[in-house]
Each structure stands twice: as structure tokens, then as C-alpha cells.
Amino acid sequence: MSATAPRPAVVTDFSLVTGLSQTKKPLQRRISAMAGMYADQEAARRLAEEDVLVYEFFDMGVPQSSGEVAYGTSITYPGKVGDEYFMTKGHFHSVLDTAEIYYCLRGRGLMMMENPEGDVQWEEFTPGQGVYVPGRYAHRSINTSPDEPLITFFAFPGHAGHDYGTIESKGFRKIVVERDGAPAVVDNPKWAQ
Ligand SMILES: [Fe+2]
């Protein structure tokens, strides 16, 4: 197809209640696919037996080139592994210096971010608030609500790519746990330098 050939616009429905689409299928991540990422391995093993759904998100199949915008919704379900809140795997972008915007549609939570130099940041997700993740920062969504899904809409450059392996092997420096009934950001005991 030539660069000047007509291309159809794309329209997709995303529910503000569920985050899901009636016309597209999300990718699902169950606890068994990420049990090793949680601090409480015994609790993770128990939940893996039921293979609880932790989060789902959309890959709309946008071409992976720099002029494109990849996008979709991400739904992280409420729950905890031990006292650690359900979260996404989290990733760097393969093209490290590419940013991403997440706009919170529903729920409560945090976006955890860190760069390779060790700067750590986190920002609150609340409906109506967008969190702009700067280039070079790994990012992970964490649902701190006891009963509501955390639903965000995200968009990032089409050529960014995903590096999940670095976080899978090292973890994030900080995790989010429930302490006295409220979320607390603490050092990750499993973090590997
Ligand atoms: Fe990303």
C-alpha cells in the first residue's frame, strides 16, 4: 500500500463501566502469568491455583511506526496478593525515550514509575485525571480500590515497543501494600539490583 493511499478511520467502543469493548478482544493476564512478581510468594501460589484474572488491556494492532499512535484501555481488577495490591506487570518501552499518557476513567489507584538511573515516582489515578509518563520511565498500574476496577485509557507512540523482561527479572524498586487499611508505598523486598 502506498503512503498516499486512502486509509479508513477507526472507531472503537470502550465502556466507561467495564473498560471493555463489544467489538474487540482484550489480552488477559492471570495471576499464574505473574505470580513471581509479588512479594508474598505463598499468597501468589494460592491465588494461582484459581488462576484469578488480574488485568486485561487492548492491543489495537496499530502499525509499529513512529507516526502512529497505539492506544486502548487497561482494566486492573481489585484484589491483593497477601497485602500487595493487584497490579500490571509493568514495562519499559523498547525505544526507551518514548512517553505514554494514561487517563483514568474509573476507579482508584497509582501509576508507579522508575527510570534506569533509579529515580522513582508515583502518581494517583482518580477519574478525570491523566498521568503523563515521561520517556525512559518504566510504568505499572496498581489498583488500590477494595471493590472497583481501575480503568484507564492509554496512548503511546506506535514504534515504542515493550520491554517486559527488565521488570520481570528485577522488579520495581517500590511496591504498594495495604497498611492499616490504606495504601502505602514501601521498598520492594524482592528488588534485584
Ligand atoms: Fe507503556
- Quickly state the pLDDT bin for 192 (edges 50, 70, 90): confident
The CATH code that applies to domain 27-187 is 2.60.120.10
- Ligand 1: distance of its center to the CA of 49 in Å? 29
Tens digit of each residue's pLDDT (9 = 90 or more) over 154-177: 999 999 999 999 999 999 999 999
- Ligand 1: distance of its center to the CA of 180 in Å? 31
Helices (H) and strands (E) in the chain, counts: 2, 13
Q: Which residues contact residue 191 at a Cβ distance below 8 angstroms, ignoring those fewer than 6 apart? A: 170, 171, 172, 173
Percent of all residues in the chain with a pLDDT value above 90, rounded to a whole number:
96
Collapse the DSSP code of 48 into the 3-class scheme (helix H, G, I; strand E, B; otherwise coil) and give the result.
helix
- Ligand 1: distance of its center to the CA of 90 in Å? 8
- Ligand 1: distance of its center to the CA of 157 in Å? 9
| Helix, strand, coil % in the chain, rounded to nearest 5 | 10, 40, 50
- Quickly state the pLDDT bin for 2 (edges 50, 70, 90): confident
For the chain, the structural domain boundaries read: 27-187
Q: Give the predicted TM-score (pTM) of the model.
A: 0.95
- Ligand 1: distance of its center to the CA of 106 in Å? 19
181 grid coordinates: 487499611
- Ligand 1: distance of its center to the CA of 1 in Å? 28
- Ligand 1: distance of its center to the CA of 162 in Å? 7
- Ligand 1: distance of its center to the CA of 152 in Å? 12
- Ligand 1: distance of its center to the CA of 126 in Å? 19
